[in-house]
């Protein structure tokens, strides 16, 4: 079945002549699940209707009150086999409406078929693509060997602490018997499609610099500002080195180097008072190839050089560096995935995910997982103003999943 040139009964086409899968996608975008106050209740109601349309078992798990994990399940012919998990998150990041062409929760579609809205790329598109692909497979009568589960999880955009991180610890998750998982990737502006087999570990470091206070008209020795400058210089000099490494080596991607950014500054009461303390926060993303112990020793050295009273603490310190084997002949799940992509005539570009996703909680359990969002010829706009996805790219993604999902669910090993 071609989703790009649908042949559907007249009753299945909207008044605009829009494909019903696109209408479904746009309705999902219109549900405002923006952090920090996502409308999870409306989202769960919407997803329950999706499960009914699919004919899937439906349940809601709340590891943390008010933060629902929605599960849908389709039983395979041999439920004893490890299952396939199709994961997506329901929350989206904040918006600045004044910088958008259209209301970011209107799912406006322009004359080119570009659908604008927060979550069009990250990652409500993928959740709907899973569902629509499974509807298509079911309509065609295709039998699946393994159980297929869809999870729609909360709070990924704020670290997943109350979402997937808690869910993987539950008996409900264990009973799913997940053997392999698909999760989010991101767009690729070229003809290629990006697939992620690992991701960088996020470290959020907060450094406190105490110092001698005094009047703003004096040369105060041992001030917090002097110490803060030294700390910032050490961290940002290292940032420059990593950025230069990326520029000089054409074979490296962003996920192959350490990124470091100054993201927070705190302190001070008024202009004419030298404060007793100033603090700075850094967001560091570390590839799996980096020795985490050596990196922390380097941070300790920078801090110690500034002064014994300067301290640091981690607001986040992810130590997971597990990778999914993505080489032909070495991982049957990878073989099934990559062969399905060849059937669809798509060229994959393998990378380490530069940020972090819920896949890390799955890989920590030694369950292989790949990050894949079937969006090529599309600018990378996750978390950006005017996030959009073209409807033809969206529909093509459904076609791709109608090949990938059965390839994985019917894999024999």
pLDDT in tens, 371-393: 999 999 999 999 999 999 999 99
Which residues of the chain are in CATH 3.30.70.360 domains?
Answer: 201-287+289-317
Mean pLDDT of the chain: 95
- Model confidence at 313: pLDDT above 70: yes
Task: Give me the catalytic one of 114, 122, 132, 156.
Answer: 156
- Model confidence at 8: pLDDT above 70: no
- Model confidence at 208: pLDDT above 80: yes
Question: What's the confidence (pLDDT) of residue 16?
Answer: 64
Buried b (16+ CB within 10 A) or exposed e, 384-399: eebbbbbbbbbbbbbb
Range from 5-9, 73-77, 168-172, 222-226 carrying the lowest mean pLDDT: 5-9
- What is the second-level CATH architecture of the domain 201-287+289-317? 2-Layer Sandwich (3.30)
Question: What's the confidence (pLDDT) of residue 157?
Answer: 97
Query: Given pLDDT bands bounded at 50, 70 and 90, which one contains residue 238?
Result: very high
- Model confidence at 136: pLDDT above 50: yes
| Bond from prior residue into 123 cis (ω within 30 degrees of 0) | yes
- Model confidence at 9: pLDDT above 80: no
399 is catalytic: no
Write out the DSSP string of 272-339: TEE-SEEEEEEEEEE-TTS-HHHHHHHHHHHHHHH-TT-EEEEEEE---------STTT-HHHHHHHH
Question: What's the confidence (pLDDT) of residue 78?
Answer: 97
Question: What's the confidence (pLDDT) of residue 15?
Answer: 44
- Topology of the domain covering 10-199+323-409: Aminopeptidase (3.40.630)
Residue the block writes with tokens 């958008």? 100
Which residues are within 8 A (CB) of 255 and not within 5 positions of it... i.e. 6 or more apart? 196, 198, 199, 200, 287, 351, 352, 353, 354
Q: Which among 181, 182, 183, 179 has a CA at the least distance from the CA of 78?
A: 179
Query: Given pLDDT bands bounded at 50, 70 and 90, which one contains residue 6?
Result: very low
Query: Given pLDDT bands bounded at 50, 70 and 90, which one contains residue 196?
Result: very high
Average the pLDDT over 187-192 and give the result.
98
122 is catalytic: no
pLDDT in tens, 39-80: 999 999 999 999 999 999 999 999 999 999 999 999 999 999
Task: Give me the catalytic one of 91, 114, 318, 387.
Answer: 91
Q: How far apart are CA 261 and CA 280, in angstroms?
A: 11
Question: What's the confidence (pLDDT) of residue 387?
Answer: 98
Average the pLDDT over 153-174 and give the result.
97
Question: What's the confidence (pLDDT) of residue 1?
Answer: 43
Average the pLDDT over 79-105 and give the result.
98
CB of 277 closer than 8 Å to CB of 209: yes
Q: How far apart are CA 87 and CA 164, in angstroms?
A: 10
Question: What's the confidence (pLDDT) of residue 17?
Answer: 85
- Model confidence at 14: pLDDT above 60: no
Q: How far apart are CA 135 and CA 372, in angstroms?
A: 20
Q: How far apart are CA 308 and CA 212, in angstroms?
A: 14
Question: What's the confidence (pLDDT) of residue 12?
Answer: 41
């Amino acid at each position: 079945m071609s989703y790009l040139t649908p042949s559907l009964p007249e009753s299945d086409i909207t008044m605009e002549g829009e494909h019903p899968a696109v209408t479904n996608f746009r309705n999902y975008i219109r549900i405002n699940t923006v952090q920090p106050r996502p409308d999870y209740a409306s989202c769960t109601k919407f997803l329950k209707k999706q499960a009914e349309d699919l004919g899937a078992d439906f349940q809601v798990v709340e590891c943390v009150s008010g933060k629902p994990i929605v599960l849908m399940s389709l039983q395979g012919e041999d439920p004893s086999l490890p299952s396939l998990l199709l994961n997506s998150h329901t929350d989206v990041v904040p918006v600045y409406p004044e910088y958008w062409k259209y209301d970011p929760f209107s799912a406006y579609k322009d004359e080119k078929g570009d659908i604008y809205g927060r979550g069009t790329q990250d990652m409500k598109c993928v959740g709907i693509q899973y569902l629509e692909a499974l509807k298509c497979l079911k309509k065609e009568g295709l039998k699946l060997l393994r159980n297929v589960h869809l999870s729609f999880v909360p709070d990924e955009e704020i670290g997943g602490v109350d979402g997937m991180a808690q869910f993987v610890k539950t008996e409900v998750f264990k009973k799913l018997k997940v053997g392999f998982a698909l999760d989010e990737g991101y767009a690729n502006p070229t003809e290629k499609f990006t697939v992620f087999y690992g991701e960088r570990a996020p470290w959020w470091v907060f450094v406190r610099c105490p110092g001698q206070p005094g009047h703003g008209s004096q040369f105060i020795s041992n001030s917090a500002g002097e110490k803060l400058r030294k700390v910032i210089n050490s961290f940002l000099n290292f940032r420059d080195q990593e950025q230069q490494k990326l520029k000089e080596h054409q074979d490296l991607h962003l996920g192959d180097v350490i990124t470091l950014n100054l993201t927070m500054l705190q302190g001070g009461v008024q202009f004419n008072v030298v404060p007793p303390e100033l603090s700075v926060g850094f967001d560091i993303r570390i590839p799996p190839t980096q020795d985490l112990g050596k990196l922390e020793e380097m941070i300790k050295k920078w801090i110690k050089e500034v002064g014994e009273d300067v301290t640091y603490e981690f607001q986040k310190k992810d130590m997971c560096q597990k990778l999914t084997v993505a080489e032909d002949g070495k991982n049957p799940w990878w073989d099934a995935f990559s062969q399905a992509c060849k059937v669809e005539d798509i060229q994959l570009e393998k990378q380490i995910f530069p940020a972090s996703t819920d896949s890390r909680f799955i890989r920590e359990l030694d369950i292989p997982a790949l990050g894949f969002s079937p969006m090529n010829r599309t600018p990378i706009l996750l978390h950006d103003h005017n996030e959009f996805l073209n409807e033809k790219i969206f529909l093509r993604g459904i076609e791709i999943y109608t090949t990938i999902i059965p390839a994985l669910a019917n894999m024999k090993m």
